[in-house]
């Protein structure tokens, strides 16, 4: 896959999956803009300082003005793709989940995705076409697996529905929109949280990143509106 001369936004790019995605994109020749919220994220990001990566600090990707700032910063090369990994996770029973907790999940997962897609569509239209890839989750496709995390399941199901609707809306404009739906991924944080789990069954971040990068690539010429399960053996 060749991303030479192409600009890609990767929200959540400083996290475990995002770092794998940025690394793969850089290896394929892309220039990446990576928004971050906390200074510690930028400090531990392994590609900080690389000429192919531009870090930009934001306060909240559910804030329209902050999102506009990210996409307005892109000058050259023009935007080819936008990949939306940023989000939040919280597990709690419904009796313990108030409206504030529900809206936090909707803002961090669905609203941030919507606003970034909106800004990306405008920029990609001006550039003549491109790709958008969102990140849903297994509960977005398998609703029963969202038991005990209903607010998260609602938000990610919204991402999945939004992806399909947007894909239909902008296909005629040369923008292919898709999403991946990971199960629990093999990260240090997840291993620490679930030390007795079968780590071998979990999809690896590099494997999930490979699917995302293909969907965002010029080599993807026909796939749109897909919510691709990336479950590994789990």
User: pLDDT below 70 — which residues of the chain?
Assistant: none
The reported pLDDT for the residue numbered 75 is 87
Token pair 């971050």 is found at: 36
The reported pLDDT for the residue numbered 234 is 87
Q: Tens digits of per-residue pLDDT, 176-215?
A: 999 999 999 999 999 999 999 999 999 999 999 999 999 9
**Superfamily of structural domain 7-230:** NAD(P)-binding Rossmann-like Domain (3.40.50.720)
- Alpha carbon distance 123, 91 (integer Å): 35
Q: Tens digits of per-residue pLDDT, 37-55?
A: 999 999 999 999 999 999 9
The reported pLDDT for the residue numbered 173 is 97
Contacts of 169 by beta carbon, 8 Å cutoff, 6+ apart: none
The reported pLDDT for the residue numbered 160 is 98
Token pair 């936090």 is found at: 104
For residues 13 and 32, the answer to whether their CB atoms sit within 8 Å is yes
The two three-digit tokens of residue 151, written as one number: 């607010």
Neighbours of 176 (CB within 10 A): 23
């Amino acid at each position: 896959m060749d991303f030479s001369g192409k600009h890609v936004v990767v929200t959540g790019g400083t996290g475990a999956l995002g770092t794998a995605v940025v690394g793969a994109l850089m290896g394929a020749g892309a220039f990446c803009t990576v928004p971050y919220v906390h200074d510690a994220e930028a400090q531990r990001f392994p590609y900080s300082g690389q000429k192919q990566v531009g870090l930009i600090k934001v306060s909240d990707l559910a804030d329209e003005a902050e999102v506009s700032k990210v996409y307005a910063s892109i000058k050259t090369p023009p935007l080819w793709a936008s990949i939306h990994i940023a989000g939040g996770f919280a597990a709690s029973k419904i009796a313990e989940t108030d409206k504030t907790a529900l809206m936090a999940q909707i803002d961090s997962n669905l609203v941030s995705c919507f606003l970034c897609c909106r800004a990306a569509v405008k920029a990609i239209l001006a550039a003549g076409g491109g790709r958008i890839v969102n990140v849903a989750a297994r509960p977005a496709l398998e609703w029963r697996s969202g038991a005990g995390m209903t607010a998260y399941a609602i938000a990610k199901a919204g991402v999945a529905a939004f992806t399909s609707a947007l894909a239909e809306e902008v296909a005629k404009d040369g923008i292919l929109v898709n999403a991946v739906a990971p199960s629990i991924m093999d990260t240090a944080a997840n291993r620490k949280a679930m030390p007795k789990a079968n780590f071998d069954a979990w999809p690896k971040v590099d494997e999930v990143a490979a699917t995302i990068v293909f969907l965002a690539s010029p080599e993807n010429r026909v796939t749109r509106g897909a919510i691709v399960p990336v479950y590994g053996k789990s």
